């Protein structure tokens, strides 16, 4: 099988890590993989080069962009109208030739924010899989550079199948034909499966991972720590792993540690006790599963795909997003009863091992690919 993947970025964020996971686990004896990127430089390019993956560098533009600044939004809309749409059409023509000459069986678009599949469909009848890995609006403040109605109509007409990485994402894209949608939760690398040491609980170490931003909720975690101090709870620390900066109140300087970008997260998690996921809306929750595989219970906000991963009271707890007081109370439960860290951590690790490692995922993904090529009816595409 020959598969062409289309990326939406050249950096190494969650969606691109998930794509690399797929590439690393595809049988090279039975399948050939190539990847389309929009620029020559980036961490994703470097990782693909390490793997000797064939790459095609062509200019193209996203059809969804961040809309938090009027001037920027006006600029990207004008760029799209004057140049972006035409550039994407030219790139799609080139790719259609590549698809034909290289007998590509499936084009797999790795994100909803790149609409190149719409243009490829004009020049090729190749099977197209569109991966919906994000809400776009709820998690990244990204919106289509065209009418919402037109956006969904074009997606529906161009793709043969949509893979949603959570039920929450599936429900979010209401305007997409339900018969074309399947849910396939992401998997994470086996290296996240570590033997945890639960012996030392003199200080409870909480961890929050991800780029520092309002959407990831680090400010809410800080507020929860302030509440813990007001309740005279002092035997805790909060570690923040991820690029960016944030203001730490003076009274918390000794209790909150900014680590910046961390390359070896499994090694860090071995030193942690509980992970926080305070995001506004995680489409899936990659860090949630990574934490579970590392033996950490997770406290997560009750939004997006997180409730699909956390079994309340078994592998962690859910709290109401935006309620720092409830978050603080949940954190304090681990401080008061540290023995639950081990019991929940081990349960969560077994739970994640059965559901989110590569062998389970790849078997289902290849079933989807083969189902498309065999032209089976849409019901048979559904992953159970």
Residue-range domain boundaries for the chain: 2-187+358-381, 190-355
Phi then psi dihedrals of residue 345, to 5 deg: -60, -45
pLDDT value of residue 375: 65
Decide if 237 contacts 203 (C-beta within 8 A): yes
- Tell me how far apart the alpha carbons of residues 237 and 376 are, in angstroms, rounded to a whole number: 53
CA dist list (Å): 351 to 291, 344, 346:
12, 10, 9
* No. of helices (H) and no. of strands (E), the chain: 14, 15
pLDDT value of residue 53: 96
Q: Residue 372: CB partners within 8 Å, gap ≥ 6?
A: 106, 127, 129, 160, 161, 381
pLDDT value of residue 195: 84
Decide if 316 contacts 304 (C-beta within 8 A): no
Can you list the positions of beta strands (E) in 244-358? 256-260, 274-277, 298-301, 316-319
Fold annotation for 190-355: Rossmann fold (3.40.50)
Q: What is the largest CA-CA distance in the chain?
A: 69
CA dist list (Å): 27 to 1, 130, 370:
10, 21, 14
pLDDT value of residue 130: 97
pTM of the complete model: 0.87
Decide if 278 contacts 220 (C-beta within 8 A): yes
- Tell me how far apart the alpha carbons of residues 314 and 39 are, in angstroms, rounded to a whole number: 44
pLDDT value of residue 201: 74
Instruction: Give the class (CATH, top level) of 2-187+358-381.
Output: alpha beta
Domain 2-187+358-381 matches domain 190-355 at the CATH topology level: yes
- Report helix, strand or coil for 147: coil
Residue 92, H or E segment: helix 85-101
pLDDT value of residue 202: 84
As a whole number of Å, the CA-based R_g of the chain is 22
Cα angle 377, 168, 312; round to 5: 125
pLDDT value of residue 378: 45
The pLDDT averaged over each successive group of 10 residues in the chain (384 residues) is 96 90 94 96 95 97 94 95 96 97 97 95 96 93 92 94 96 94 90 81 92 94 97 96 94 95 93 96 92 96 96 96 97 95 96 90 94 66 48
Decide if 128 contacts 121 (C-beta within 8 A): yes
């Amino acid at each position: 099988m020959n598969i062409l993947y289309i990326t939406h970025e050249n950096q190494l964020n969650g969606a691109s890590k998930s794509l690399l996971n797929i590439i690393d686990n595809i049988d090279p004896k039975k399948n050939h993989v190539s990847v389309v990127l929009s620029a020559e430089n980036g961490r994703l390019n470097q990782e693909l080069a390490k793997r000797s993956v064939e790459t095609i560098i062509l200019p193209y533009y996203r059809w969804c962009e961040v809309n938090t600044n009027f001037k920027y939004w006006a600029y990207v809309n004008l760029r799209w109208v004057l140049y972006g749409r035409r550039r994407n059409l030219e790139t799609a023509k080139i790719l259609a030739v590549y698809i034909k000459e290289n007998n590509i069986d499936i084009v797999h678009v790795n994100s909803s924010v790149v609409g190149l599949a719409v243009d490829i469909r004009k020049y090729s009848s190749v099977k197209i899989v569109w991966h919906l890995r994000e809400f776009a609006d709820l998690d990244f403040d990204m919106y289509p550079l065209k009418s919402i109605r037109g956006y969904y109509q074009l997606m529906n007409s161009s793709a043969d199948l949509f893979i949603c990485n959570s039920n929450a994402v599936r429900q979010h894209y209401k305007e997409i034909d339900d018969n074309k949608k399947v849910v396939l939760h992401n998997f994470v690398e086996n290296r996240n499966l570590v033997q945890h040491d639960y012996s030392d609980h003199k200080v409870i170490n909480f961890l929050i991972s991800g780029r520092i931003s309002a959407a990831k909720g680090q400010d809410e975690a800080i507020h929860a720590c302030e509440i813990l101090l007001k309740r005279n709870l002092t035997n805790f620390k909060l570690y923040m792993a991820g690029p960016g900066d944030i203001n730490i109140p003076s009274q918390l300087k000794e209790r909150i540690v900014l680590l910046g970008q961390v390359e070896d997260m499994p090694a860090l998690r071995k030193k942690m006790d509980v992970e926080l996921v305070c995001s506004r809306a995680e489409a899936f929750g990659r860090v949630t599963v990574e934490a579970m595989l590392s033996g950490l219970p997770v406290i997560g906000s009750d939004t997006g795909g997180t409730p699909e991963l956390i079994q309340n009271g078994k592998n962690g707890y859910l709290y109401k997003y935006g309620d720092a007081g409830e978050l603080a109370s949940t954190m304090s439960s681990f401080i008061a009863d540290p023995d639950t860290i081990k019991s929940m951590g081990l349960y969560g690790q077994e739970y994640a091992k059965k559901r989110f490692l590569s062998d389970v995922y790849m078997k289902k993904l290849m079933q989807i690919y083969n189902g498309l090529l065999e032209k089976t009816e849409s019901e048979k595409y559904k992953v159970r």
